[in-house]
Structure formats: structure tokens, C-alpha cells
Amino acid sequence: MPTAVYDQRSDPDHEEHQYLDLIRRIISTGQSRPDRTGTGTLALFAPPSLRFSLANNTLPLLTTKRVFLRGVVEELLWFVAGCTDGKVLSEKGINIWDGNGSREYLDRVGLGHRREGDLGPVYGFQWRHFGAEYGTCEDDYTGKGVDQLAQVIDKIKNNPTDRRIVLSAWNPKVLETSLGFELNLPLLSPL
């Protein structure tokens, strides 16, 4: 498992400074753009590419905050498994999804028929069973839907220049039965 990157604040040559410099540039020279929330965003046209070494068993985490690396890795493995049961993470001390699987929340958003912890067709389900009919987090979805992750891995291995290597967690069909619009990502791409 990758190890946490050392404290880069003490090393001005550390790769993470590419990210921090880009953030500073966006704040100082970015163009203001409206968004649907009314908050607004700052954006740069064609920002510089950032490059990071993955040598020495490290993983770049681009953030200005401290990161619970074990939680990040456990959640990613949970997604990769296609799991939709938030209790699996909770039992490991990863509580990021607890609020969205609570009885109170499920009842409030009209998903009271789900048992506590059943998050519905969230990211991992879309990655591993895209298009499959969702029942409960306890159902067996083996062989159902499209296994996008397996397809992406196969394309990277066998046709790495394919421009259609895309992993999508966005499924408009399930927005009404999922945890809500704000919890869906439009596109995740490995390249």
C-alpha cells in the first residue's frame, strides 16, 4: 500500500508545490465564472500540466488538508469491490458515508424502504454493474450490468491509446433512487 507523502511544507522543491502554485495562480489570475449554485468559481483557460512521480511507493494526494490515507484507500477498495453497504466501511472505522446511510437521512429523502447503511447504486456499483437494476446492498450482482472497471483495465493493458478509456459514475437513470444529485460525479477518467 502506498505510504503518505512526507511533510512537503518543509521542502520547497517537493512536487506538491506544483499543485499549490496552480491554486495560487487560480486565486490571483483566474476568471470569475457563474455556476448553478450562485457561489461562482474561478477558472484558468489551459492551466499547466502537473506531473508527479509514483516511484518509491508514494501516492500524491493533492490537497491543502491533512488526509486520512487509510480511509481513502479503504473507500477506494470498497468502490472497486462494487459495494454499496456503508456498514462495511463503518466497521473499519471509516465513517464518511454514515450520514448518507442513516435511518434519518434515508427516511427524509424517500428511501425509507432501504435498511440502514444501504447507500443504493453509488460509485462502486456504477463502476462494476453499470445499468444493472438495483435492489439492495445485500443482493448478488455478479454478471449483471457493465463492469466498466474491468473494461478500463483491459483497454489500458491491450489498447492503451484508445481514446474511449472512460470510467463513469454518472447514471442519470438512477438519480431519483440514488442519494441525490449532489453526490454523483459526472465523469471519472483514468487518463
* 56, amino acid identity: N
Give me the tens of pLDDT residue by residue for the chain, a chain 191 residues long. Answer: 444 444 555 666 677 888 888 999 999 999 999 887 888 899 999 988 888 888 877 777 777 788 888 999 999 999 999 999 999 999 999 999 999 999 999 999 899 999 999 999 999 999 999 999 999 999 999 999 999 999 999 999 999 998 889 998 888 777 665 655 444 444 333 43
What are the cell numbers at 6? 512526507
Residue of 138, 126, 110, 140 lying closest to 169 (CA atoms) = 126
Residue of 39, 120, 113, 126 lying closest to 85 (CA atoms) = 120
Asked if 120 and 169 touch (Cβ cutoff 8 Å), the reply is no
Tell me: the pLDDT tens digits for 31-45?
Answer: 999 887 888 899 999
Bridge-partner residues for 182, per DSSP?
none
Asked if 27 and 42 touch (Cβ cutoff 8 Å), the reply is yes
CATH of domain 79-177: 3.30.572.10
Residue given cell 447503511 in the structure block = 117
Q: 91-128: b or e for each residue (b if 16 or more CB lie within 10 Å)?
A: eeebeebeebbeeeebeeeebeebeebbbbbbbbbbbb
Please state whether the predicted TM-score (pTM) of the whole model is above 0.75.
Answer: no
Tell me: the pLDDT tens digits for 76-95?
Answer: 999 999 999 999 999 999 99
- State how far the Cα of 9 lies from the Cα of 7, in Å rounded to an integer: 6
